Chain A
């Protein structure tokens, strides 16, 4: 096996797992938190939790950008679609529940809602059909936000506008530290968000909160190494910012991406589904791009929505307070085929990932 393919090599995984077991404390419960749906997918899909000692727990924080879009913003998209504009977005977004209905339900009632692979495809649709109005529902964390920024700066067609719902990860991580009863011992920081923002935005976690923080990649051995590095810091009573994913993540991030984001957006406070209002946690189009702001163009602003249905515990799953199988509805009334909460809708939602990849012992 050549060196390049070692990111998934089982022998290496076993070796890292042995190292983890060697330095793990005997009885103290250690809890590490990641904030990325792709990390949850890797951990669950590859069964990494089964390689860890019983007292080392890895929990999932708010890492699914589709899950944390508040119902009020889904409602805005539905209302815009009902006014006759074509809503374009990523596939997962369509099934996320709004207060009354999802975009998919609006589509079944006749609204024109289309799935795209990315924003450039949506713009191409608008160019192909100049007599229709198109809106891109821009959901996603820092990884996705620059793609929206590039297109806004390039003067998209006049029949195109944006419903911007981008959110920022570091404020959500800070929120988790404020929840006294969560008691996290370290952060596994998200690799692809970090490709864009670099290391600097995480510096406050070790410095201010004395929280070990390791940026990790997504291959199984990346995640295991990240856990090992956190555990090592814990054992040596250190709190440092380390970068396991150095092959992709540079200290300064992607400067071009940060530059276009700065030009297109202001940072504002905003609501997250199931979490509430977080300061400086969202992006909003700058006033000079008002012509492309779908809220203004269609005069639609929904202040309040119904985020969580009665009985759904998505709000506790999102912050890592409970595991999906601790929700009474999980795999009973709430399934991938018939999801109740946003965490079961998106392919990166913790409940959905557990439903399709976990061992079936909960059934």
Chain B
């Protein structure tokens, strides 16, 4: 139930935003817990955005994985 899904912010009206879950699935969600903008990605849980997402951080994770995996343990 703590499932959360990323979505693209399409339109903002006050505390509400229209977001696109992909393939044209649009919904109105509450964005009062995050600072976002049109064109940004947010993590949606039960109709409320709980976090903003940025591409660079995802790439950082991959970089971190590579670093951890490349280190050999004595």
Seen from chain A, the residues whose Cβ lies within 8 Å of a Cβ on chain B are 3-4, 6-7, 12, 15-16, 19, 22-23, 36-38, 64-66, 90, 92, 117-121, 139-141, 143-144, 146-147, 150, 190, 192-193, 195-196, 221, 225, 228-229, 232, 235-236, 244-248, 254, 256-257, 260, 346, 348
Most buried by B among A22, A193, A254, A260: A254
Annotate B47-74 by CB proximity to A: 1 below 8 A, 0 otherwise. 1101101010111111011001100010
Distance of A38 from chain B, by nearest CB (Å)? 5
Distance of B62 from chain A, by nearest CB (Å)? 5
The interface residues of chain B lying within 8 Å CB-to-CB of A22 are: 73
Give CA–CA (A183, B73) in the complex, Å: 25
With contact pairs A118-B48, A144-B45 given, residues A15 and B69 touching in the complex (Cβ less than 8 Å): yes
Chain A residue at minimal CB-CB distance from B27: A117
- B46 near A: Cβ within 8 Å? yes
Q: Is the interface of B mostly helix, strand, loop or mixed?
A: mixed
Chain B residue at minimal CB-CB distance from A255: B33
- Indicate if the CB atoms of A92 and B1 lie closer than 8 Å: yes
The interface residues of chain A lying within 8 Å CB-to-CB of B50 are: 143, 146, 192, 195-196, 254, 257
- Indicate if the CB atoms of B46 and A147 lie closer than 8 Å: yes
The interface residues of chain B lying within 8 Å CB-to-CB of A38 are: 2-3
Distance of B8 from chain A, by nearest CB (Å)? 14
Q: Is the interface of A mostly helix, strand, loop or mixed?
A: helix
Most buried by B among A3, A232, A244: A3
27 chain-A/chain-B pairs, Cβ below 8 angstroms: A6-B65, A16-B65, A23-B73, A64-B1, A66-B1, A90-B1, A118-B47, A118-B48, A119-B47, A141-B2, A144-B1, A144-B46, A147-B46, A150-B30, A150-B32, A190-B2, A192-B4, A192-B50, A195-B51, A221-B65, A232-B68, A235-B73, A246-B64, A254-B34, A254-B50, A256-B32, A256-B34
Distance of B32 from chain A, by nearest CB (Å)? 6
With contact pairs A195-B51, A254-B51 given, residues A348 and B33 touching in the complex (Cβ less than 8 Å): no
- B43 near A: Cβ within 8 Å? yes
Distance of B59 from chain A, by nearest CB (Å)? 5
Distance of A11 from chain B, by nearest CB (Å)? 12
- Indicate if the CB atoms of B68 and A228 lie closer than 8 Å: yes
- Indicate if the CB atoms of B48 and A147 lie closer than 8 Å: yes
With contact pairs A6-B62, A143-B2 given, residues A256 and B33 touching in the complex (Cβ less than 8 Å): yes
- Indicate if the CB atoms of A119 and B1 lie closer than 8 Å: no
Give CA–CA (A16, B62) in the complex, Å: 12
Give CA–CA (A15, B66) in the complex, Å: 10
Partner of B53, one of A6, A12, A228, A248: A248
Give CA–CA (A38, B3) in the complex, Å: 6
Give CA–CA (A253, B73) in the complex, Å: 32
- Indicate if the CB atoms of B58 and A192 lie closer than 8 Å: no
**Closest 8 pairs (CB-CB, A-B):** A118-B47, A118-B46, A247-B57, A143-B2, A192-B2, A147-B48, A247-B61, A256-B33
